[in-house]
Amino acid sequence: MDLGKFVVQVLFFCFCMLVQLNSCYCSKKESSILLTLKAQHISSMSIPKAPNRVAFHHNVSLTVSLTVGSPPQQVTMVLDTGSELSWLHCNRTPNTLSLFNPQLSTSYSPVPCSSPTCRTRTRDFTVPVSCDPKNLCHAILSYADASSVEGNLATDTFAVENSSMPGLVFGCMDSGSSSTPEEDAKTTGLIGMNRGSLSFVSQMGFRQFSYCISGRDSSGVLLFGAANFPWLGPLKYTPLIQMSTPLPYFDRVAYTVQLEGIKVSDTVLPLPKSVFVPDHTGAGQTMVDSGTQFTFLLGPVYTALKNEFVKQTRGVLRLLNEPNFVFQGAMDLCYLVELSRATLPPLPAVALMFQGAEMSVAGEKLLYKVPGATRGTDGIYCFTFGNSDLLGIEAYVIGHHHQQNIWVEFDLAQSRLGWAEVRCDLASQRLGLGH
């Protein structure tokens, strides 16, 4: 059994044969790169055991096979919408099964400290870059799951099928630490997909991308470019929030939206809108992150939601009533459900109310069965909203579990996030990417 971690194998289908430096064109139109996503469970042995930590990165891993360098070297990279800089393992360690060898690439070029790339385009890195003894731009990247990598910035050619991007800036990493070494060893690195100037999306020049994550072991879709499909209904949009002033707790290059309220069934939680607005330090932003599994809310909001959900499910669900049972360190509302049940009982939907749109969380997406956890003839199911305060995270995070079977569009051109409910396995079939 597992704890809901997934590896998504991505196969690329490129419709564009010519890539220019900043964007890709077919004839006179911007092309699309279409990918299939296949979700499969992996061992729970890779889950961090610390009770107060949840792995924010690699809970869902979109692994992309592409080539880097001249001549090309095959690499497998994790797609992460919560990160900026793409990076590759460039130094073999006991835990590294796959790496990129820069010495074998004639197009590889390290980035010096004096370059504008090092001096200005790294401003949103959590840890400031530095100069190594060879005057090369040195970076340390750290993640919320306590993993980190360290190495130098460089440029090289990244290619997918017949599409290539020369001079793409990435990190050539020679050391690091991981909270999930067994799983991280299976990939060569990571592709950063946030709004930073050095992210893969920014450097490739794509102004739109979308994904559709299936709920079970079935196919989904990842698309770079516009989603102009007749079967895809109108999307609901909410603005992406931008912050020009650096604040200590605000991630300026994350996909940030404005959460304005939450309702359970028809009951809106009696909370002032101000609790959802970032404070003067930047704490309290709402981020949409495909690399986070569940959804986490700041303490007062989580408590209000928990109390209302318990109230509305009284007589329908049986509380676990074990105060020390906290799933993944932040989810303390759990229930006993008969193992003989084929489906969950009817549950009140939870709606996340954003500026201009709502996202509904209903049915099986509300409760997650904890693998291997039983009490007699009952299984343990936990509420799929957690308490950010228990993680030490000063933000609201909308995870991928609540994005399942939703077409999610990141429209950077119009600075907005859109979504529409859709069967992602059927979307994959319609696009010719099914089983």
pLDDT tens digit sequence for 337-387:
999 999 999 999 999 999 999 999 999 999 999 999 999 999 999 999 999
Phi, psi of 89, deg, nearest 5? -70, 125
| Identity at 430, one-letter amino acid code | R
The whole-chain average pLDDT of the chain stands at 82
Topology at the third CATH level for domain 33-205: Cathepsin D, subunit A; domain 1 (2.40.70)
CATH number of 236-431: 2.40.70.10
For the question of residue 124 being annotated catalytic, the response is: no
Which DSSP letter does residue 331 get? B
- pTM, two decimals, is 0.82
Report the C-alpha gap between 336 and 338 in whole angstroms: 7
Model pLDDT, residue 23: 34
For the question of residue 266 being annotated catalytic, the response is: no
Question: Nearest-CA neighbor of 383 among 332, 313, 316, 345?
Answer: 332
* Digit-coded pLDDT (tens) for 1-50: 333 333 333 333 333 322 322 333 332 234 677 765 544 343 332 322 22
Q: Which of 124, 289, 332, 425 is catalytic?
A: 289
Every domain range in the chain assigned CATH 2.40.70.10: 33-205, 236-431
Q: Which of 80, 145, 156, 251 is catalytic?
A: 80
Model pLDDT, residue 421: 93
* Digit-coded pLDDT (tens) for 292-326: 889 999 999 999 999 999 999 999 999 999 989 99
Cβ-based neighbours of 111, under 8 Å, separated by 6 or more:
117, 118, 136, 137, 152, 153, 154, 155, 169
Two tokens, residue 125 = 């890195």
